[in-house]
Amino acid sequence: MPGIRNNGALALGGIALAALLGVIGHLGVRDLDPVSLTVSDYAVSESGGVIHLAMLTLGVASALLVPALGRLAGPGARAGRLGAAQLLLAAWAGGLLLAGLVPTNPPGTEMGTAAYVHRYASVVAFLALPVVGWLLAAHLPTGARTRHWLRVLAVVSLLLAATQIWSAYPGDRVFYGLIERGLILSEVTLLALLAVALPAQSHARTGRREVTPVRAASVAGRPR
């Protein structure tokens, strides 16, 4: 449908804008180390407002894709899995919006309630999106190349998330910021792929639903 296709185009534009804002936000900070500090640490610096705006933009762009998943669900187990994917995509979008609205604590200071909200909203978001990619790769009638890359990006994202968890605790935060930026890159790429694939699949499925009753009526009306 035109609305879903428009949502996909708007989502792609929002993803590109969020990426640009993220780069600008990093360029405006000169006294922090991106290898050891997270994007959230940059966001609470003097010029970090642009990074918060990038998080919010990415969250809104992601939310635009949620309706496309609702159009794809059909009867049976497949509908249940796609419904779960839709909820997880909403969790990713909501986690990004919450993390963008609630900042973490500055580096070297004690974590407060807002910092914990920011942390766990981010954790939920970064764990939810790879599962969405994996579920859609397994159950969407999309092209083989798209399915392959959805699976690859989902696995890479989960491995990077696990590596970051290791770095945060037993790893003494070694390369913590660098790992997080790799995770963000893989998940934003996965999201961009979904922004291309979901509206196309939704339109194709809607088209089949509209054509089938017309064909049935045509057959029923033929003289015997």
Output the CA angle 131-133-138, nearest 5 degrees.
Answer: 95
118 vs 116: CA distance, rounded Å? 5
Q: Write out pLDDT tens, residues 30-68.
A: 888 999 999 999 999 877 889 999 999 999 999 999 988
Q: Write out pLDDT tens, residues 183-217.
A: 999 999 999 999 988 876 655 555 444 444 444 44
Q: In which element (H, E) is residue 45 found?
A: none
Helix, strand, coil distribution of the chain in percent, nearest 5: 80, 0, 20
Nearest to 47 by CA among 61, 31, 28: 28
**How large is the greatest C-alpha to C-alpha distance in the chain, in angstroms?**
83
First vs last Cα of the chain: how many Å apart? Answer: 36
Q: Write out pLDDT tens, residues 52-111.
A: 999 999 999 999 999 888 777 655 556 788 889 999 999 999 999 999 999 999 988 999
